[in-house]
Structure 1
């Protein structure tokens, strides 16, 4: 299945029914998700691997990865209602590999996995973490990267525009390396009262990191 076909398949994923601004619950567009999953697949980072979608929301990245023959897929989010919606989206997308949905706080790493476990399949993180743009949620993306560095062999993550120096420095300090980076656009429809426009395009950056 090509990237365009995957994008069409992921278009069945519904957005947040009741998004929470404090959690920065903005949907990942199907076209960007398909591109990210396709890139990971081309680099042999999905098939036969354990995949984590940290802050999965309604499941877009986890469901995309689950169509690419992974060993296992886990979608983790602290919002139980979003996880319930992700499960409903799984029925719509019907991926070949079932997804394990977990309610948990990503910065607290709600799973027992270590990179020192040599017998387990290698681990890939796909994530669109909160950017840390909301008051009280500052540096949220750093917390997600800290969890990623502890469990992943490779990761793909979406960040706010201008994050290159921060992500590169973080990866280097954690013994990792940014191998790919590219710009992306996040078209956001009006979800919250403070948003003045019906639609806004947010500039973002995507990074592949080997840990």
Structure 2
């Protein structure tokens, strides 16, 4: 049986997730137009498409994570919370790449963006997908604890003990009886899923907004469509 304090904390965390999800929903981009970007470089277009698609994915996952956790669909909520960490790590990496653009040649930056845009693990004609764990570890260096939370959720997202018996069974070893259900035992991992998702969304929204602030500065550094084409 869940502790009343845990139930109250979960409700508060879900409310925070819903608030931050609504903030993201209000900013979801509808289109990226090359003519409106107005520069020859392909890199800003690629960056904005990555940012926009990640925002749509994250908003969808966050909404459904809240719904799942309120229904006590723990495995679903935890798996979505884990995926939101991955989304956040990728957007954070995009932000850091764009902030460090001065040390990259235009064609190098384009090459770095391609795996984020079109990365695919099992299709040879596509760029190699970005390694998710490397993204998580990069973010963990700036935000300690990210990798620990991600690894914890991975145990429950996979059909390991934490995601199977640890979520849905309780065994009375004296009587040799196992009972099943969503509420047969407390689940600290499930209880933390909304809290970690709220933190992930705070980071995601921050990176999303910082990229928006960065774009006019970046575009001013590039050759406009009305002038000579960039060498890339």
Smaller-chain TM-score bracket: under 0.3
Rg larger in 1 or in 2?
A: 2
Q: By percentage of residues, which structure has more helix? A: 2
How does the TM-score come out when normalised to structure 2? 0.23
How does the TM-score come out when normalised to structure 1? 0.24
Q: By percentage of residues, which structure has more strand? A: 1
